[in-house]
A and B are shown apart, each in its own frame.
Chain A
């Protein structure tokens, strides 16, 4: 209470000015301390990954092997120690954020585009089109998603792009379902009928009425899915199906450290913490967005 009401007190109840929807959501999000913490950390991670080269030079620090200082514990010089090839772990974690974030964002974008389009088409046209698309989605959903990703990456060969594609394909059905459901609920509402009555064509209706109305669940899903894509990336890399050495990737670093668990556990501990911080902040942001977009659920 308080701030919002002080300026509201000036005018009487009936004429309270309507804030724009985005501003209202932002206002609610700002009140959620956990979500703001998540947002701050996510922004920090984005900045770190953008300016990674300024922090640590890729060729001379991140990938250059220096076996004389291998497996060193954290020290003033190497804050998080060095790995089995004498590379600075902090530097590799910082550069690893690039891989993780870009895989997460690209994979989610691809699956959102494919899944969203399929879902919108299925929901809007219904009938046979809907049936064919959704049965195909059922098939994709029937395979546990990590297994599907493993199969795709192993068939296409391990590379960052294939990894993105594999993760994208396995989360297509999720988006298709959300968008289809939103389309179905929005489709029959009066404002869409109204748009049809004034002669809008299908494309116009989808673009200007249906899409804005299913944004809320999609935004939430995206922030949560980026997190799970990052988690899956590290999992696949851990299995040796992710990026190729010497590219720094958190899961691969972790996997590399497995052989040295007894004497140099920091090889495994720190990349894991980097993953946790990233996922945690994305989830906090996602939860906060969900609450801000749907105030009914919050209490």
Chain B
């Protein structure tokens, strides 16, 4: 790598990919989320933890362009280096972002997959939306991604409903990653899976995140998931971020009383 390239890479990594300022959406007093600000750097995994109703999912839908905020901005630095303000961009731009440079992994794979069409078509959909019109290429991409998420490529023509819950979740991940996104949102990706399947999925996710240098925002109530995947954590309670910092720091030395409660309430087998 030449010096100029190295410089380019280091400036690329030194700039945030995603920047959020004073993001607020309230459905009632302390219902929703308010005053959230953070920067996310390329390749960084941000975990959002907190109890049910603390505003994690509201925050995630605000971040991913699914519901407009009352106040605040969400901006994203696209592949050309320009900053895009998510909510002042046109809907067409937002949709393009969502299916090319971004991904969204739903808690329930049935919401994120097209259940009526085969696994291969699910994986190929983003490519087709981007204008790939070559069946052979779509097929090859399908097989390649099934292998990457450890599903038997022979099942490419099977409907997702014939897959187990863990396989559906992995298929959903493949479907999102096929367009080589830079930023992925995940809403409780391991919810509803049994512990051994969870472990495999987390292992796979961790590998893919490192390998593809993905920036991830992951919402979870499971601190083990957070510890395994996240570089940084934000703890939410009653619509506010009460503590933010490095994962190990928060989990080993929580400062806020609520974080302390959260950490101490994890069952130790």
A, B in one complex: no
Residues of A participating in the B interface, judged by any CB pair closer than 8 Å: none
Residues of B participating in the A interface, judged by any CB pair closer than 8 Å: none
